[in-house]
Amino acid sequence: MTTHPPRCSIQSILIDNNNWERYKLNHPELDPYKASEVDKMLLCCNPKKGYFVVYCEHCSEGTVVHLRCNSKVCTNCGTKYVDQWVKKQKRKLLEETHRLVTLTVPADLRPLLKDRWNLLRILQESANETIVKVASKKLRKQVKIGMLVGLQTYGQDMKFHPHVHCMIVEKVIFNGQLIDFKYVPKQMLRRVWTDTLIKNLCRGDVSHQDKILLHSMEDKYPYGFITDVGKRSMRRVEVIRYLARYMRHPAIANRRILFYGRDKVIIRLVDKQKREYSTWYHVDEFIAKMIQHIQPKQFRVVRWYGLYSRREVRLNRKHNEQRLETISSEIDSRKMVFRCKKCNNPMIYEFIMPNKPPDKRFSREQLDYWIQLAN
């Protein structure tokens, strides 16, 4: 009988042997915001943060609900956040099908973009400008197009590999009429993407040497930077699900961590031929690769352009009652409702306990006793 090593997680690796505390001591230049996000993740569902205590009158049982961290590197909170984001955002998407377009950056420019989120935002804006130019040239009309642009800064090996995923509506608007846009010319896309990105980056906060490097890319890549166009159309649910995984997720999932021990972390990778292989990092290198992808506060990983922009949505709300959202419905949707796992009835909020009760589920008598102790 074969034995498998115990499953590892990002949280357990950081806690074990005080790896995260030692990393902070050895790297005083660490961004305080990134450090705070990791610290929050390590305290996710920790008894020191307290508990919500809720009670089901139908089953006559109480339940302890942990307080979560909502950190950008927490896999558990990220999954819950993504589910809520998908439920909210899919109402904004049009019923039309979408096409996936991926735009990449050559390895020569990655050192220029690393840890410079103002330049990474230019990638998203350049992607929108590129698609609009390609659509207008292809259709020979100045059209309006709807698009979602998601930024991804990592590859499966957790190295810095910035690229953007664009979800393009396969219908464009010209003079109030819908026109099909289901074919994206690949050669034109590569050339326009290269020219637009170099132009916009040169206008950004870069030095003279960086501008020389950017203009040298035109000669080094005469056919343009690598791009990819999806082979099939995607429905509304597929579109929002595809982009949701970039919203709130660490650079590696726990299921891809194969082994941890003796300051070594082994992760699983898959090549282009769908063959699996593994590589390993020292624990300090693993931590550094993971936290370099934490976005700054208020940075939007997914941006809405064209027909999906706020201005266009406000104009369409006057003619579309389904998009109207009143203040009362918005407040009601934000209320946290706990439901009993047995009967699915709403549970009554009691209070926050300072210490952990001995059992996860308990009777009314035990709950009254703990309330007396708390008071």
- Which pLDDT tens digit goes with each residue over 143-169? 888 899 999 999 889 999 999 999 999
Both 300 and 367 in one domain: the answer is no
Taking alpha carbons only, the member of 129, 137, 135, 128 closest to residue 171 is 135
Both 46 and 97 in one domain: the answer is no
Both 44 and 85 in one domain: the answer is no
**Between 322 and 61, whose confidence is greater?**
61
**Between 311 and 104, whose confidence is greater?**
104
Both 61 and 79 in one domain: the answer is no
Mean pLDDT of the chain: 82
**Is it the case that residue 237 has pLDDT exceeding 60?**
yes
**Is it the case that residue 325 has pLDDT exceeding 50?**
no
Q: Is residue 4 part of a domain?
A: no
Q: Residue 361 is part of which domain span?
A: 31-66+332-374
**Between 325 and 146, whose confidence is greater?**
146
Residue 213 structure tokens: 């490097």
Instruction: Name which of 60-69, 193-202, 213-222, 248-257 the model is least confident about.
Output: 60-69
Q: Which tens digit of pLDDT belongs to each residue from 289-303?
A: 999 999 998 898 989
Residue 206 structure tokens: 């870069």
Q: Residue 360 has what pLDDT?
A: 52
Mean pLDDT value of segment 327-339: 48
Q: Is residue 47 part of a domain?
A: yes
**Is it the case that residue 361 has pLDDT exceeding 90?**
no
Q: Residue 129 has what pLDDT?
A: 95
Q: Is residue 86 part of a domain?
A: yes
Both 61 and 101 in one domain: the answer is no
CA dihedral defined by 368, 372, 374, 375, rounded to 10 degrees? 130
Mean pLDDT value of segment 27-42: 91
Both 43 and 186 in one domain: the answer is no
Domain count of the fold of the chain: 2
Q: Residue 188 has what pLDDT?
A: 94
**Is it the case that residue 1 has pLDDT exceeding 50?**
no
**Is it the case that residue 327 has pLDDT exceeding 50?**
no
Residue 322: which pLDDT band, with cuts at 50, 70 and 90?
very low
